[in-house]
Amino acid sequence: MLKTTVAVLLALPLLFACGEPEDTHPGQPVTHRRQAFRELLKASEPIGVMLRTNQYDPAEYQRLLGVFMEKREAPWTLFAPDTLYPPSHAKPEVWSDAAGFEAAKKDFLDASWQLSQLGADPGRDRALAAYKNVEAACERCHDAYKNK
């Protein structure tokens, strides 16, 4: 059940990627940025699945959290100037409202930091509450700065 759910969720972005323009820019900055976000999703999804399906296991939870805390750093340096072109789904506001984007990023980093500070065995309920704050921070930023 866990494996199937994760596999289905991971397949979705791949499906949507079909038929999009190729990234022909030198160094493919948009491609690398999107890959970093896909890895962030891939690192966060199993935590949500574990916590929502009553499969909380402290050791495995800590392992997943460690991977997630590493992946959460990657996307942010990849929003260089002049990197808004197809196939990017970023909104121009990432650059035109840089302070707002920075604040949304800080919200996310704060929420995930709090998740990581609950101790070795926070229990399913506390972990899930903190995890939901992280998800909400992802969604708030997407609503403001990412096209569907």
The binding site for ligand HEC (CB under 6 A) comprises 13, 30, 33-34, 37-38, 40-41, 44, 88-90, 94, 101, 104-105, 108, 134, 137-138, 141-142, 145-146
Which of 62, 135 has the CB closer to ligand HEC?
135
Token digits of residue 97: 């409202």
Closest contact distance (angstroms) between CB of 109 and ligand HEC is 8
Output the smallest distance, CB 47 to ligand HEC, in A: 9
Q: Which is nearer to ligand HEC, 51 or 104 (CB)?
A: 104
Whichever of 61 and 108 has its CB closer to ligand HEC, that residue is 108
Residues with Cβ within 8 Å of residue 141, at least 6 apart in sequence: 101, 104, 105, 107, 108
One-letter identity of residue 41: L
Smaller CB separation from ligand HEC, 44 or 64 = 44
Please tell me the distance from the alpha carbon of residue 88 to that of residue 130, in angstroms, as a whole number.
30
- d(Cα 144, Cα 141) in Å, to the nearest integer? 5
| Smallest separation, CB 36 to ligand HEC (Å) | 8
**Closest separation in Å from C-beta 138 to ligand HEC:** 3
* Token pair for 63: 């392992």
Instruction: Look up tokens 């909104």; give the residue.
Output: 91
Question: Is residue 122 reached through a cis peptide bond, with omega within 30 degrees of 0 on the bond before it?
Answer: no
